[in-house]
Amino acid sequence: MATDSTNEFDLGPLSWVQGEIDQALTRMDALVRTGYTPALYWRGVIYADQKDRGKAMLDLKYFLGVEHSGPDVESARSILTSLGVDPDAAGTPIP
């Protein structure tokens, strides 16, 4: 008798991960509101990891509009490229 293995997968031990991500995003939101631009980069990274392309793009494009050099800038450009977004395109969003 065949069994459906998708019903046997236990998400219980992984449920804490979403709570941790939500807490991190809440902290990043507070930092962004105070004008701490590196928080835009890190929030964009979290969104990209969660496959939320739109939010990742907005944060990373705005970050690139404020910051112009450094390792986070190169990383942001690389992430945008991996999302299919031209990091040099006009139209940097404003939060």
| 11-52 per-position pLDDT tens digit | 566 677 888 888 988 999 999 999 999 999 999 999 999 899
* pTM across the whole model: 0.74
Which pLDDT score, from 0 to 100, does residue 52 have? 92
In angstroms, rounded to a whole number, what is the distance separating the alpha carbons of residues 2 and 93?
51
Other beta carbons less than 10 A from residue 66's beta carbon: 13
pLDDT, greater one: 1 or 81:
81
Which of 31, 38, 34 is CA-nearest to residue 75?
38
Q: What is the distance between the alpha carbons of residues 38 and 73, in angstroms, rounded to a whole number?
A: 10
Pick the closest to residue 62 from 39, 81, 34, 29 (CA basis). 39
pLDDT of residue 60: 95
Q: pLDDT tens digits, residue range 55-92?
A: 999 999 999 999 999 999 999 999 999 999 899 886 55
